[in-house]
Amino acid sequence: MSAVVVPAQVSASPAALLQHVRTGRASSRAELVALTGASRNTISSRVDQLIGADLLLEGGRGDSTGGRPPTLLRFNGGAGCVLAVDLGVTSVDVAVTDLSARVLATAGHPIDIAEGPQAVLAEAVRLGRAVLAEAGLADADVRAVGVGVPGPVEFSTGRPSHPPIMPGWHDHPIPEAFGRWPVPVVVDNDVNVMALGEMGVGGSDQDVLVVKVGTGVGCGVVVGGRVYRGAQGSAGDIGHIHVPQDDGRSVLCRCGNTNCLEALASGASLLRDALAAGLPVTSTHDVVALAAHGDGPALELVREAGRTIGTVLAALVNFFNPHRIVVTGGIAQAGLPLLSGIRESVYARAMPLAARTLDITVSDAPELSGRVGAALMAVEGYLAQVRATFG
Amino acid sequence: MSAVVVPAQVSASPAALLQHVRTGRASSRAELVALTGASRNTISSRVDQLIGADLLLEGGRGDSTGGRPPTLLRFNGGAGCVLAVDLGVTSVDVAVTDLSARVLATAGHPIDIAEGPQAVLAEAVRLGRAVLAEAGLADADVRAVGVGVPGPVEFSTGRPSHPPIMPGWHDHPIPEAFGRWPVPVVVDNDVNVMALGEMGVGGSDQDVLVVKVGTGVGCGVVVGGRVYRGAQGSAGDIGHIHVPQDDGRSVLCRCGNTNCLEALASGASLLRDALAAGLPVTSTHDVVALAAHGDGPALELVREAGRTIGTVLAALVNFFNPHRIVVTGGIAQAGLPLLSGIRESVYARAMPLAARTLDITVSDAPELSGRVGAALMAVEGYLAQVRATFG
């Protein structure tokens, strides 16, 4: 005989019941009973408690399986809102969403992250107040704040840790800037935040790589639906993986090494190579726009960047054997040429078993995944607080 | 404020209590109460149940923290035994261990895995009976069997899945061969098994890479102390990661591609390169022995293999940010020259943050980690059965 497989126990704590309904695993008291194995009485009294706290709504009828059709439960996404802050190297974008991460209002503009934490965070707070006003919401409606930043973060304190492209931000207590709202403030690396955004409200139990191709290149690593961080929290830092060049080409990276992935294939390298090729561009965005309009040389530059990123991903596919890879970030807006370059390298070099059912796609909304992810992270922060209250 | 962090709940089921004591997280009833938050009465009745089933032993006194010193609990490793089978491409090794994975007797010899499952498994069963006899144990003492095989395995059924170097083994129901012992039979890829062996009885909550350098090269991936398998169970399959050669060198791999890691740096490639260099060797083992005796050319070959493996590990360190890397397998017996080659490449190319506290070591007992891992896997299979009985 082979080993006895015992199913993992599914929690029936009030906070867990809320999560089951919110993520779509159950939508009635009967389904919660079936999912958790808890008694009908236990489930009912806990569901009543959650309804009393305005976190669950009851109403409507589901499909009958013979008897009386069950009354449907749903998460009350309208029970409050969260602020989602997406800080980039050159932009700040803020959204207010409901507790289901549905965007209610959004605002943003270019900045320079090097202006430092005081100026940039004051601007984020100002934008937060503006989107609340636009959505007709008050400070008291805010349940949590989520912030994505373009650098490593000590997750437990919300402080950046020696971020290479955020001068002046090391160890800055980002949550304190949002003291206007006395709620949980959760801060994480922008790539991890984007990974949450790509998993969506329902989450996932898959192993996924979310590759951000923006000014730099990074990767959110999702193991069984959860963000994997590694020993120092730097997991997914693929931008400085060495990519040897068969033709002896040597490109200096801002880190001091040569032929790092992001020195060869990133927003910054695309702009450099487009300028060197004499294309009429002044920004990475111009290169992406040219490619989107079918300009031959721009298309080939984007596709070649995809091929280079694909050589690194081929190795990671063998090692990590993910269910899928999602490409996001500014350059992902180039869409198919980037994707086909990546696919070309991955399918040429990854092991057939790992590549067979692998799904490589571009994000549906690369410009939004940072804000949706920050909103979902904020909601999780709020629900952790709920858990501490309800058990 | 930052997000409320709620500690994960620690289970107080009887099977969980057994695991807490077995893995050293608690060694008295009081510590079990403190660890799980369950009542003293609940813990005591469950501990009594486990003592009655001969799974826990009570006796001796611990350190007092003021009052009467607590009576110590320990896992009854002597309550039975398990058989551990380590199948290699060219060897079969079998051990009988107690339930703490302490080796009681061992036996093994060269084979050719291509002789096929009937012949090889019959030999494994014969060796199993021999080690039981040598240890003075009976068939009825066997609680589970663990088997490591050199290829991919569908874990739930214990059947190899298109193993490239195990001709005739695809889909063979390995557990049935051990029908003599009506107990759980757990089968897994040898590299995952070795990873368990390196984690030891106490387990680990770390992120670890266990790199096996034998005839081929593979990697056990441990996330938070548990073996990570990926979408198709092929995670850690690093032997065919492409390693571009600056000097235009092109080495054909048995997979049909060129410049795969194991075509450039493995037991097989070491033997090939040693023969090409005119060294007096007829096996990989000879090369390792020459290096161990300080032979210059053999040392340089081993060190260069380490450097090549290190270039791949440097990329994986950036991506995975492990707490530590353990190198095992036959070539690991070469020790320092292999390790220093690996370290040279990893520290030269991995990001400082990820490499700073990274620990890279060679296994204490590379020749035993397969059998100890198979024993630990068998014990887990037995404890899963206990869990199904006790809840």
Are the beta carbons of B321 and A235 separated by less than 8 Å? yes
Q: Which residues of A touch B312 (CB under 8 A)?
A: 315
pLDDT at A375 over 80: yes
* Domain co-membership, A258 together with A185: no
Task: Write the residue in A156, A353, A380 that is nearest to B234 by C-beta.
Answer: A353
Average pLDDT taken over every residue of chain A: 89
* Domain co-membership, B170 together with B288: no
Candidate from A123-127, A333-337, B168-172, B187-191 with smallest mean pLDDT: A333-337
* Domain co-membership, A245 together with A356: yes
How far, in Å, CA of B231 to CA of A283, rounded? 38
The pLDDT of residue B271 is 95
Q: Which residue do the tokens 């790539």 mark?
A: A191
How far, in Å, CA of A210 to CA of A240, rounded? 17
Residue of A nearest to B359 (CA): A231
Q: Is residue B8 part of a domain?
A: no
* Domain co-membership, B176 together with B60: no
The β-bridge relationship of strands B91-98 and A142-149 is unpaired
What number is the average pLDDT over the span A120-147?
Answer: 97
* Domain co-membership, B232 together with B275: yes
Q: Is residue A3 part of a domain?
A: no
CA distances (Å), origin B97, targets B15, B41, B106: 21, 34, 9
* Domain co-membership, B123 together with B212: no
**Coil, helix or strand at residue B373:** helix
Q: Is residue A61 part of a domain?
A: yes
Specify the number of domains making up chain B. 3
Q: Which residues of B touch A226 (CB under 8 A)?
A: none
* Domain co-membership, B343 together with B259: yes
The pLDDT of residue B5 is 38
Q: Which residues of A touch B388 (CB under 8 A)?
A: 4, 6
The pLDDT of residue B162 is 80
Task: Write the residue in A11, A185, A358 that is nearest to B1 by C-beta.
Answer: A185
Name the minimum distance, in Å, from the CA of A245 to any CA of chain B. Answer: 7
Domain limits at B62? 14-75
How far, in Å, CA of B140 to CA of B147, rounded? 19
Q: Which residues of B touch A236 (CB under 8 A)?
A: 319
pLDDT at A142 over 70: yes
Res. A131 pLDDT band, cuts 50 70 90: very high
* Domain co-membership, B240 together with B266: yes
A241 contact partners, CB below 8 Å, separation of at least 6:
A260, A261, A312, B314, B315, B318, B319
How many other β-carbons are positioned within 10 Å of the β-carbon of residue B314? 23
Give the CATH number of the domain where residue B41 resides. 1.10.10.10
CA distances (Å), origin B146, targets A180, A300, B126, B181, B227: 58, 53, 15, 12, 15
Are the beta carbons of B4 and A219 separated by less than 8 Å? no
Are the beta carbons of B231 and A321 separated by less than 8 Å? yes
Q: Is residue B356 part of a domain?
A: yes
* Domain co-membership, B253 together with B155: no
The alpha carbon torsion through B329, B335, B337, B343 (nearest 10 deg) reads 80
Q: Among A29, A56, A75, which residue terminates a domain?
A: A75
pLDDT at A177 over 60: yes
Are the beta carbons of A321 and B232 separated by less than 8 Å? yes
Give the CATH number of the domain where residue B123 resides. 3.30.420.40
Q: A315 near B313, Cβ under 8 Å?
A: no
Q: Among B75, B91, B118, which residue terminates a domain?
A: B75
Q: Is residue A7 part of a domain?
A: no
pLDDT tens for A178-189 read 999 999 999 999
Q: Among B75, B99, B116, which residue terminates a domain?
A: B75
Q: Which positions of chain B have pLDDT values less than 70?
A: 1-9, 62-67, 391
Handedness of CA A367, A369, A370, A372 (dihedral sign): positive
Residue of A nearest to B187 (CA): A2
Q: Which residues of A touch B240 (CB under 8 A)?
A: 318, 351
What number is the average pLDDT over the span A335-356?
Answer: 90
pLDDT tens for B75-128 read 888 889 999 999 988 899 999 999 999 999 999 999 999 999 999 999 999 999
How many CB pairs (< 8 A) connect A and B? 197
- The length of chain A, given as a count of residues: 391
Q: Which residue has the higher pLDDT, A170 or B248?
A: A170
pLDDT tens for A36-59 read 888 888 889 889 988 988 889 888
Q: Is residue A216 part of a domain?
A: yes
* Domain co-membership, A373 together with A356: no
Best B226, B241, B247 member to test A by mutation, with max A CBs in 10 Å, is B241
Q: Is residue B261 part of a domain?
A: yes
Q: Which residues of A touch B223 (CB under 8 A)?
A: 223, 228
Are the beta carbons of A231 and B321 separated by less than 8 Å? yes
* Domain co-membership, A229 together with A329: yes
pLDDT tens for B20-32 read 888 888 889 989 8
Q: Is residue A1 part of a domain?
A: no
- Taking CB atoms within 8 Å and a gap of at least 24, the contacts of B76-81 are B77/B102, B79/B54, B79/B55, B79/B143, B80/B141, B80/B142, B80/B143, B80/B382, B81/B132, B81/B135, B81/B137, B81/B141, B81/B142, B81/B143
pLDDT tens for A57-80 read 888 776 666 667 778 998 888 889
How far, in Å, CA of A283 to CA of B62, rounded? 69
* Domain co-membership, A213 together with A339: yes
